[in-house]
Structures are given as structure tokens and as C-alpha cells.
């Protein structure tokens, strides 16, 4: 493989057929495994994956917490966290990520620094705050709130003006901030609000992601034109057909991004370990069953399936994208090759980046991960990343700070 100064792959061929020009630096990777950089299509950067502190999920404290994060001190904290967590993802082999719910526009600023060459980091599609209804999932801490189609449309325009290149909707209730059993998956946005958001985002050429955790929520979001369903639910024939042929979506089809790390630890580890209450645990168990069934049905029926780790949430650390692939194989029945494909070429196609990244081919960015073991024999190979290349920038033996206690609990799963 030959990589030019512009960070693009110039040629891919056996060494004996394609020796690099004399001026090029040559690296011997005999016995190593080179794979495309991973793409994490569902990430948050505001926390590190340790159990979320109760202050972030407390209803009574949501106003003062929101005010703090909008203050100069809060914004500075968020900028530091975003940079640290994005680099952790990169060092673990994630060369592209999409955020789907930021506190403000700290990730937009980080993306712009990386694109300007002031920082080495992953390619980023940044959402800014997600869009929710009053009292909805993510509101108000990481959301712009609107309760009618025109306000929803206005909120898209605000985000686009701020420079986002991703839009996220809370179409249904979620697990982490649920106040009642059964709230996760309960529809929150009207179809008309969803349509307004999709129309406005698509006019700017931006893919729309929707948090949806029930059949009704998934169907409502897809029929409104959403491009990716986050988390998901069990499917029926009408939903499967709409995934594959969705006339309101940006490209005529939609995709599923399961996020097994978002719920499997909450559902299967003790509450003494995760720190969640009875309501959150019950909702997590309910959502896991739906999500696993939906992922299996999507694979079996040829629906486009990607990968997202829901990093920043409890026990979804920024260095464990490989566990998402492992969970997909263990729980949803994907083959290792299908799981790796979901996190590379499939995600590139889903996010509209297939001409730039996702596979190792001439003309694409040199987004690469070098491993000492074959990841198809076990995704734990990503625990020993030897080299990461992000658009031609080389990071040698990247060092990552892990959380040993979290790792021990996750290994038990």
C-alpha cells in the first residue's frame, strides 16, 4: 500500500508488485493485520463511560446543571472532555465518528480544529444539541426543545447555522432518563414534527438520526423520512420494506444503528455496579430484547445495518468500540465479518462517506488500524492497537487510559 502526502491511498497491491518510490518512507508490517479505521456512528463526547452521576439524570437538578454547562466554566469543561474523548476513540481505532447529542456546539468547534489541521483527530460529523419535545428524552441538557412543527423546523435551522453536519431527534422516550417503566420507546414527537425536521435537514443535505425504541416509534420516524434509526426495535414487514425503500429519506433508503453497549450492561449487571435505579433497569431489559430481535431481523432481511457504541453513557467507554462488535456477534448473531463490515464500509455508506473512507482502496483516505492479531478471530485484538493512521497522520503505539473496574465487569458479560 502506498500513501501520498495528501493522506490518500495511492495504490494497494502486494509488495513485490508495487514498491514505493524512493522518496517514500517504508514500513514493514509483516505478520500484522491492517484493517480500515472503525466508524462509530453513534457517539457522545460529554462524559467518559463511567456510571453517569445522579446530578446528570436528576429531574430536580436539570435546570441548574443545564445553566452550568452553558456557563463559561461549563463550556470550557465540555471542550476539554470532547477533545480528550475524541482522541481516546481515535487511539482505540475509531478514525471517524458521528455525535448524536452534544450539550452545545463544542464538538462542532473540535471538528473544525481537526479539519483545519490544528489538531490530529478523527473525522467527525457533529450534531450539536439533539431535538426533543418538552420533557422528552435528552431535554433540556443536550437538546433544543420544540413542541410544534415550526419550532422543530426552526431548531434545525439554528443547528445548521451553528455548523452541524448531523441532526439527531428523540422520537421516543429513552432508558437513562426514564421516569416510569415503559417510557423507553414511548413515542414523544408527532409525525408532523418529525416530517418538518427531516425536510429542513434534507434541504441542507444532512442525514437525520432518530432515537427510537419501539415498533410504533420506528415506523413513525421512518415514514417521516428519518435516515437512521438509533437503537431500534423488533421489526415487521412494513418496517422492513420502509427501511429498504424510503421515499422521504435523503437517499431513498434508511439504516439501523443498534447500540448494544447502551443497554446490555444496564440490563445484565447488578444495580450496585451500574448505579441505576429500578425504573432504568426495567426499561433497559425491555429495550435490549427489542433491539436484539430487531438487529437479527434486519440482518436476515437485507436492511442496512451499521455500528454505534453510544459512548459516554454508563459502561460505554470511548475505547471500547470493539465491544460493540463483540456484542453484535454474541447477542444478535452477526458473523465477525458482518460486524466488522457494519463498523467500516457499511457505516461509511450510511453516513454518506463511502467515497472518502470505510475501506482500503486507492483514492480513499488512509484511515487504517494495524493490529498484531486477526480481529475476525476475536475483536479483543483492538485492545492491542499498534498503529492508527487518520487521513495519513500516523499515531504510533497509541496509549489509552482504561478503567480496570469497568473492564472487569464488562468481561463478565
Q: What is the mean pLDDT of residues 283-308?
A: 96
Within 8 A by CB and 6+ apart from 202, the residues are 208, 225, 249, 250
Q: What is the predicted pLDDT for the residue at 70? A: 86
Environment class of 11 (CB within 10 Å of its CB; exposed 0-12, middle 13-18, buried 19+)? middle
Confidence at residue 409, expressed as pLDDT on a 0 to 100 scale = 96
Task: Give pLDDT, residue 56.
Answer: 66
Give the mean model confidence (pLDDT) for residues 163-190: 96
Query: For all residues of the chain together, what is the average pLDDT?
Result: 95
* R_g (Cα) of the chain, nearest Å: 20
The 3-state DSSP class for residue 395 equals strand
The residue among 136 and 55 whose pLDDT is bigger is: 136
Contact 262, 231 (CB under 8 A): yes
Provide the domain limits for residue 140: 37-355
Q: How many domains does the chain have?
A: 1
Residue 151, in any domain of the structure: yes
pLDDT at 273: 94
In this prediction, residue 64 carries a pLDDT of 82
Backbone angles phi, psi at 39, to 5 degrees: -120, 120
3-class secondary structure, 287 = helix
pLDDT digits (tens, 9 = 90+) for 3-13: 999 999 999 98
pLDDT tens-digit map of 324-383: 999 999 999 999 999 999 999 999 999 999 999 999 999 999 999 999 999 999 999 999
Q: Give domain status of residue 368, yes or no.
A: no
Ranking 61-65, 173-177, 227-231 by mean pLDDT, the lowest is 61-65
User: What pLDDT is recorded for position 337?
Assistant: 97
**DSSP codes joined into one string, 145-182:** E-SSHHHHHHHHHHHHHTT-S-EEEE-BB-STT-SSTT
Instruction: Give the domain CATH number at 57.
Output: 3.20.20.140
Residue 55 pLDDT greater than 70, yes or no = no
3-state DSSP assignment of residue 34: strand
Q: Collect all residues with Cβ–Cβ distance below 8 Å to 169 and sequence separation of at least 6.
A: 130, 131, 132, 189, 194, 197, 208, 209, 210, 211, 221, 226
Asked whether residue 43 is domain-assigned, the answer is yes
Quick one: average pLDDT of 285-291?
Answer: 95
pLDDT of residue 334: 96
In a domain, 20, yes or no: no
* Residue 280 domain-assigned (yes or no): yes
pLDDT at 34: 97
Q: How far apart are CA 163 and CA 161, in angstroms?
A: 5
* % of the chain at pLDDT higher than 90: 90
Q: Per-residue pLDDT averaged across 284-296, rounded?
A: 96
Q: pLDDT tens digits, residue range 70-102?
A: 899 999 999 999 999 999 999 999 999 999 999
Task: Tell me if 394 is assigned to some domain.
Answer: no
Residue-level pLDDT at 98: 98
What pTM does this model have?
A: 0.96
Residue 105 has pLDDT above 80, yes or no: yes
Residue 200 located in a structural domain = yes
In a domain, 141, yes or no: yes
Three-state SS string over the chain comes to CEECCCCEEEECCCHHHCCCCCCCCCCCCCCCEEEECEEEEEECCCCCCCCCCHHHHCCCCHHHHHHHHCCHHHHHHHHHHHHHHHHHHHHCCEEEEEECCCCCCHHHHHHHHHHCCCCCCCEEECCCCEEECCCCCCCCCCEEECCCHHHHHHHHHHHHHCCCCCEEEECEECCCCCCCCCCECCECCCHHHHHHHHHHHHHCCCCEEEEECCHHHHHHHHHHCCCEEEECCCCCHHHHHHHHCCCCCCCCCCEEECCHHHCHHHHHCCHHHHCCCHHHHHHHHHHHHHHHHHHHHHHHCCCEECCCCCECCCCCCCCCHHHHHHHHHHHHCCCHHHHHHHHHHHHHHHCCCCCCCCCCCCCCECCEEEECCCHHHCHHHHHHEEEEEECCEEEECCCCCCCHHHHHHHHHC
Residue % of the chain over a pLDDT of 70? 98
The burial class, CB within 10 Å (0-12 / 13-18 / 19+), for 23 is: exposed
Give the mean model confidence (pLDDT) for residues 300-322. 97
In this model, does residue 58 exceed pLDDT 70? no
Three cell numbers written together for 94: 475509531
E strand or H helix at 35, and its extent?
strand 33-36
Measured CA to CA, the distance from residue 158 to residue 170 in angstroms comes to 17
Per-residue pLDDT for 19 more than 80? no
Amino acid at each position: 500500500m502506498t500513501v501520498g502526502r495528501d493522506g490518500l491511498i495511492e495504490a494497494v497491491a502486494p509488495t513485490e508488485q508495487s514498491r514505493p518510490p524512493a522518496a517514500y518512507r517504508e514500513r514493514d508490517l509483516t505478520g500484522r493485520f491492517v484493517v480500515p479505521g472503525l466508524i462509530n456512528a453513534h457517539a457522545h463526547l460529554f462524559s467518559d463511560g463511567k456510571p453517569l452521576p445522579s446530578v446528570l439524570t436528576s429531574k430536580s437538578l436539570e435546570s441548574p446543571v443545564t445553566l452550568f454547562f452553558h456557563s463559561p466554566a461549563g463550556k470550557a469543561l465540555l471542550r476539554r472532555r470532547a477533545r480528550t474523548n475524541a482522541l481516546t476513540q481515535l487511539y482505540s481505532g475509531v478514525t471517524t465518528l458521528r455525535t448524536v447529542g452534544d450539550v452545545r456546539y463544542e464538538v462542532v468547534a473540535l471538528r473544525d480544529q481537526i479539519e483545519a489541521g490544528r489538531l490530529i483527530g478523527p473525522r467527525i460529523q457533529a450534531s450539536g444539541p439533539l431535538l426533543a419535545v418538552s420533557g422528552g428524552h435528552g431535554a433540556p441538557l443536550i437538546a433544543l426543545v420544540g413542541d410544534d412543527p415550526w419550532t422543530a423546523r426552526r431548531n434545525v435551522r439554528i443547528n445548521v447555522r451553528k455548523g452541524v453536519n448531523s441532526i439527531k431527534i428523540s422520537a421516543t422516550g429513552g432508558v437513562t432518563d426514564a421516569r416510569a417503566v415503559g417510557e423507553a420507546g414511548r413515542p414523544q414527537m408527532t409525525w408532523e414534527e418529525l416530517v418538518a425536521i427531516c425536510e429542513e435537514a434534507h434541504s441542507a443535505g444532512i442525514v437525520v438520526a432518530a432515537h427510537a425504541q419501539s415498533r410504533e416509534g420506528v415506523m413513525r420516524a421512518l415514514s417521516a423520512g428519518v435516515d437512521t434509526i438509533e437503537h431500534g426495535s423488533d421489526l415487521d414487514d412494513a418496517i422492513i420494506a420502509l427501511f429498504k425503500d424510503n421515499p422521504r429519506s435523503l437517499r431513498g433508503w434508511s439504516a439501523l444503528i443498534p447500540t448494544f453497549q447502551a443497554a446490555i450492561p444496564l440490563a445484565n449487571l447488578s444495580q450496585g455496579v451500574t448505579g441505576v435505579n429500578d425504573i432504568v433497569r426495567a426499561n433497559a431489559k425491555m429495550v435490549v430484547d427489542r433491539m436484539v430481535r430487531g438487529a437479527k431481523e434486519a440482518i436476515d432481511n437485507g436492511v442496512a445495518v451499521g455500528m454505534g457504541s453510544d459512548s459516554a453513557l454508563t459502561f460505554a467507554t470511548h475505547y471500547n468500540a470493539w465491544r460493540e462488535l463483540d456484542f453484535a456477534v454474541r447477542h444478535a448473531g452477526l458473523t465477525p465479518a458482518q460486524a466488522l463490515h457494519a463498523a467500516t464500509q457499511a457505516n461509511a455508506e450510511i453516513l454518506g462517506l463511502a467515497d472518502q473512507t470505510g475501506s482500503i482502496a486507492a483514492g480513499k483516505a488512509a484511515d487504517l488500524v494495524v493490529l498484531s492479531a486477526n480481529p475476525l478471530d476475536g475483536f479483543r485484538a483492538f485492545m492491542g492497537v499498534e498503529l492508527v493512521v487518520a487521513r495519513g497522520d500516523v499515531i504510533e503505539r497509541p496509549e489509552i487510559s482504561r478503567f480496570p473496574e469497568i473492564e472487569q465487569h464488562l468481561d463478565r458479560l
